[in-house]
Amino acid sequence: MKVHRAIVLVVMMLLAIGAFVLLVMDSAGKSLIALGVVVIAAAAGGIGFSWKRYFRR
């Protein structure tokens, strides 16, 4: 289980770095799309990591 969490965390960080690069390199409105992708990815990662801890049945 810890390996799965570590892999998901690394993937989330790579997505965030990629979106940040798009944000910096792009001067048009696409930077807002990249920022939205980062926010959605961070929210999904937070929900995924805390799902079993806070939403047990």
User: Distances from the Cα of 7 to the Cαs of 13, 14, 29, 48, 49, in angstroms?
Assistant: 10, 11, 31, 13, 12
User: Distances from the Cα of 9 to the Cαs of 23, 40, 45, in angstroms?
Assistant: 21, 14, 8
- The pLDDT assigned to 54 comes to 67
Cα distance from N-terminal residue to C-terminal residue, the chain = 19
| pLDDT single digits (tens) 40-52 | 888 888 878 877 7
Average pLDDT, the chain: 76
